[in-house]
Every structure is written in structure tokens, then in C-alpha cells.
Structure 1
Amino acid sequence: MRHLSANEQRNCWLLAGVLLLLAAITALHYLTSVHLVPYHVVYRSLYFLPIAMAAVLWGVRGGLITALLVTALHLPYMLFISHETSDSLLDNILELILFYGVALLAGILSARQQQQRREALRMRTYIDGILASLPIGVATIEPTGKIALQNPAAVHLIGKEVHDFPYPIQQGYSECQWQGRALGIHRSTLSSALGDVITIEDLSEQRRLAEKIRQAERQASLGRLAGGLAHEIRNPLGILRATAQLLATRLQNIPEVTRYTQVVTTESDRIDRLISEILSYAHPRSLSLEAVAPGPFLEQLLQDCQPYAEQHSILLEIERRDNLPIISADTELLRQALLNLLLNAIQASSPGQTVTLSAQQADTALCFAICDRGPGIPDTIKGRIFDPFFTTRDEGTGMGLAVVARIVSDHQGSIELEERPEGGTRARLCLPLQKEQP
């Protein structure tokens, strides 16, 4: 036997109530003396109650069916009994017609109300769906201070109900720091004294992007300035080096002159290498893209750097992974960037420590990681680590990581240096994967 649903059970109880009410009114009608006309007029008027109830509950059809049932119940009285009293047949007929009129009117009004209720529910569901999909938090506050509505983003951004937010939310726009997020909060008054609406937006990503743009603009300006200076310096530097070589040739019998000119030549070569790095940063070459298999590429990089690592008593390891996707990159520039990061990791490590190379897929990018167990990067310099000419080593030029950042940017990739929980630094260089051809 099928169990009735809650709605079906409710309808059954309501139907039983309407039928019971009809039976009670009819019993009063027929058990009362026919000569008590005022009572019969009242009882007949009571039939409007179940008719209206049926019309409200089940629409026009329910009202008309109930009116027909009332007609069947009242017809014997109207045809055979009412003529013995002063209760006229015309009054009874008019009241029967009125029964059907009430059924129609109540049914139509009920149908309209139900339609409006369904439309309001549909609109509420539609609005709730929009609010739930918004990345910004939205909350409305009644004039009494009660929260009328708030979407999930509002609770997510502040971690609690809006009325429990510890910072006072003033009219207009304000910003605050909360749980590591930069929040922009705007409060305005709704029309017709309906209360206030509050919007909450997470500004952290915007600020991070703005900082990246400012950093890129600063680096570009420094690069242009450095490129111009490098060209101006290289010409007199070449003359200085040529003069030193000429003196060394003509005065080679004087040991002091030979020694001093050798110093000039060596330092000139060092300055020339620095100028080459500056020019490489300021005027990067166009990319020559080709398919790169990460596994063999890292193996070759490790072999190239192995002698330098052995010289510093550092062990190099590769975390090998199968089925890595092919990427599209300029092989020489990618090698230059990873080699620079690898040399930095070796220089930051103590003898006997291990530097690990790895590659893995992360969503739509392939990420190379170089991990060391050195002292890490102080928080005070993290924001400047990729700036040109910034270095923490006496013998450094400050151009290595700046060139790495430029190479990664030219590949539409990303580069970040982060602390490792077990100590040391992880350099993470990510390049986008090749797009599949349709």
C-alpha cells in the first residue's frame, strides 16, 4: 500500500473538514423547525463558508464542486419544504446563484494569489541564485538593525555573520584588514526607509595585481635606464681596455705596469659582462619557441651544473615523474633562467646539503621547482628580490633574478620564491602548457 505524502495527507484532512462542515450546516438546516425562517436564512448563509474554503484551497473547480454539493443538499428543502413557510423560492434560487458567484470569485482570487506567490518564490530563488554566485558579499539590514538577507560570500569574507563583525560599518565606503584580507566595505541606505545594503569585496587580489603591475613598470623603467647607461658606458670602456692592452704590450718589460694593466683588463671584462646582462634585461631577444620535454631537459641541466655543485660539496637530486606534458618554450632562455635559480640554490646551501630539482603539472601549467635547505629569504627583502641591481652577495651584480623574472614574463609564466616548512627556499617557475589544437 502506497503511503500518502505530507501534502496529500494535508489535502485529505482539509477535504474531511469541508465535508464535515457541510454535514453540520445541513443537519442544522433540516433539524430546525421549518417555521423558524430567520434561523434557516442564517444556516443557508453558512454554506458560503465551505464554498469559499474549497475555492481558496482548490481553486475555481473546488469551489464549483462544493457549490454543486451544496445545491444537492439544499434542493430538497427549497423544493418541498420552503413553500410551507414565508421563505420564498426566489430567495433560495438567488442564494444558490450567489453560491456559484462566490465560488468563482474566491477561486479566481485564490488562483491569482497562488500565481503571485509562485512568482514571488521564483523571483526569490532567482535573486538568491544571483547573490550566491556573486564574488562580493551582499547583506541587507532592516531599520531595526536585524539582518534581512546576506549571501554566502558575505559570511565567507568575514568568517561570521555580518552583525557579529567587530569593525563598525559606517555609511559610505571604507577599507579594513580582517583575517589576512583587505576588505572594501560600502554601506548605503535603501529608498523608502527599507534599511541599509552592505557590500563587501575582497581587495587582496586587486592589490596583489596592482603591486605586480607597479613592480613590472618599475623594472621596465630601470631596464630602459640601465640599457641607455650600458650603451654609453661600453664605448669608453672599450677604449679603456684597448689602452690597457696597448700599454701592457709596449711596456711589458716593466712588471708593475703589466700587473696593473692586467687588473684593468680583468675588471673591464667584468664590467663588460655586467653590461651584457643589463642589455639582456633591457632588450630581451625575441622568443624562439620549441617543444620541450621536462624530464630530459632537467637531466641535461643537472649534468651541466654537476661540476659546480661538486666544487661546493652540494648533492644534486631530481624527483622524477612520468607522463609530464610537453611545453612550448625558448630552450636557451629557459635553461638560463633555471640555471640561474639552481646556481643561487647551490650558493645558498652549506657543504653536504642537497638541492632538489623537480617538475610537475599544476592545472594548465608546468611548474619547475628548485628546493634548497639554506637560510631562506628574509621577509624584509622579499618584495625587492627580483629588482635589477638588488643583491645580498658582495660579488653579485643583482641582475640574475631580474633576468629570470623577465624571461618568465616573456613566456607568460610566473615565478615565486617561498619558504619551505622544513627550512630553506623553494623557487617555483611555472610556464603555461601548450594549447590543444581543435
Structure 2
Amino acid sequence: MRIAGKITTAFYVTAAFLLVVGITAIWLIGQLNAVMKTIDLAHEQLDRVAATRAGFHNGTDKVEFHRARLRDLTAWASTARERDLLTEAETALAASPPDLPRALKAVDELDAYYRGIGAAGQQRLEVLHRRAVTVMILVVVDGVLLAVILLFLVRQWLVRPVVALEAAAAQIAAGQPVLVPVANGRDEISDLARHLNALVPVLTELRERLAKAERLAQIGESATFVAHNLSEPLRSIRALAQYEHDASSTPPDAKAAFQHIISMTKKLEQWITDMGSTIRSPEPLLGHHALEPILHDATSLLRPLAAERAVTLAVQCDETIPALNIDRAQIEQALVALLTNAIEASPEGGQVTLAATATGATVEVRIRDQGRGMTDETKRKALLPFFTTKRGSPGLGLTVAERIARCHQGALHIASAQQQGTTVCLTLPVAGPERRSPPV
């Protein structure tokens, strides 16, 4: 029921109560007035009868004067009994000679009759008085009860929901996403609570995106500093490795090792250069590339780390996967970040599987480890910049990988359960992104 309907119902109930009270009061007043008039008339008649009796007993009044008083009493008579007694007295006086004892007897009976009417009226008045007191008590009790019921309904219908809304809004404003308890009602406050509850996940997502954007801004500011401070040492290492590689005295095995160092330092230089732009939603340098070599290159970079932790790396690539329209360096960077997390989460002797399958217009690359898995809270925050559960980790691997996926109009999903390991799925469109994706 809408609030207007509830208020109208309460108004009608109150009006009905007041109407009943008013009708009862009018009826009681009417009864009291009628009884008071009867008593007053009886007293007036008694006064007239007393004067008539006094005249009879004194014997000073003439018969005609007695008859005039009797006619005056007859004019005020309202019952047949009164008229009969008055007729009896007047007939006795009209006899020849006048029968005064008979007339006096009739007047005495009339006096007793009026006294009886007065006594009955007084009893009726007392009964009505008690009834009026009872009615007034009932009116007060019912009025208080009605007021309590109305106050309770107002509290249930208006005050309590508004207080709940205010408390929930205050918590939401303080950054605590809570839902407003909604009764199964159809009034405006219930509708407002449902609309507010619908906004909670939207506000939560916006708050998380804002926090993420702020953290990414911090990363962007530090990326330039990091690139500047690392690029020079890396160039020195690469130059030294190049010198040793080109030296005629360097044995073939050492030349291969120096070539690996040169290749790795070039990639690190490129990644450091691209770090800031990657965080700021880079424009992918698209080209058609086979996926399988990228998978093997990413795992080859991390085999020393896997061997150090006694973790086996397994690569599975569907042969039906076509060449993808992707930025090769960015995808390799994302895979290295995901594989690094999987290796570090795996127990000694565990296995990390890197599997790629074609699913129509998209390709799914799954990195599965055999670690302890994530809690729901950890999984919810895993993609936030700087969030990590590992000591010494910057907490950027998943963030960068997700942004690279979204810049390719793909997606990154995490499936994890405690004691059951974690699977990260990188989804990429085969055709590549049609336009630049500006994720936040």
C-alpha cells in the first residue's frame, strides 16, 4: 500500500472513532435532557399539587378556586394517569354537595404519582450518569489505544524505514557498501530502498575504479623514474655482454649465454620503456603473430625461476589457433607476469600449465597452478594496483596483464578456490581490437 493510502486509512479509522464518540455523546446528552425535563416537570407539578392540598386542608379556599387549580394541573398533565386522577378530583368537587374527602384522596394519589415520577427520574438520571462515566472511560481508553496504534503504525510505515535509509546512506557515504533492509511493501519508501540497493553495486564499482585510477596515476608517475634509473644499468650490461660476445676469444657456449643476456636485456629495456604507457592504456602495435612462439618465449624466460623453485612448466597450444592481430611484446609481457605469479604460488614439485585453445572468435590462454588458491576477498581485490599477498612484490603483475587484455578488447578472469589452485584466463579476440580501448 502506498503511503497516501496508509495515511487515508488511518484518517478514516480516526474519523470513524470520532463519529462513534460524537453519536454516543449526542445520545447521552439527549437522554439526560429528557430525564431532566421530566424531573423538572414533576417537581413543578408537585409544587402545584402541594398548594392544592394545602388549600384543601386549610379549608379557606372556595370550591371554584380548587377547581381552577385542578384545571391548571390538567393543562400540564402529560399522561393518562394524571388526567384520570385530576378528572376524579374535579368530579368530586363538582358534586352537590362537593365531596372534598374524595377530591383530597385523588389529589393525594396525584402527589404520590408525581413523587414516584421524580424518584424514577432521579434513578434514571443516576443510571445515565454512570453510563456517561463508563462511556467517557471507554472513550479515553479507546482514544489512548487508537493513538498508540497510530503511533506504532507511523513508526513502522515512516519513521523506521526512514531511519534505516538514513543509516544505510551514511554507511554508503562512508565507503561501506551495505544494503538497505527492504520490507515486502509497495510504498514509496520501499521503492526508494530498492532503488538505493540497486545503486550500491554501481557506487562500489565506481569507487573501486576511482581508487584504481588513483593508484594507476601513482604508478604512471613512478614509471618514468623507474625507467630512467634502470635503463642506464641495463644498457651497460647489454654493451658488456655484446663486447664479450663479439670477442674472438669467447668460447661458443659462452657466446650463447652472452647472446641470451643481450636478448633478455633488450626485452627488459623495451618493457621498462613501455611500462608507463602500458599503465596509461597504450595503443597496441598490432600485427599478425602466431601465438605458440609467444607462449614458448614467455616460458623460456621463466624456466630459471621455475627450476629454482622445482616447478615444472607445461605448454599446450591448440594447433587450430590462427594468427592473432595483437601486440606481441605486450602479450608476452602479460604472460610473463601471469606465469611469474603462478610459479611463485606453486608448491615445490608443483606444475604450472600454460594452455591455449580456440573458442570461435576468441582465443583463451589459461595459466593454471597447483597453489593454495585465493580467498574470496583476495580474488575480489586481485586486480587492484599494488594489492599483493606476497612480501616484496609490488602487486602490479595482474593489473598490467588485465590492462593489456582490455587494450586488446579482451578480458582477464580469475577462477580460484582455497586448496584447489588458481586458474587465470586471458581471452583475446582473433581479429584484434577494432579501436583503442581506454580502460580505467
TM-score, reference length from structure 1: 0.41
Structure with the higher fraction of residues in strand conformation: 1
Larger Rg: 2
Whichever structure has more helix as a proportion of its residues is: 2
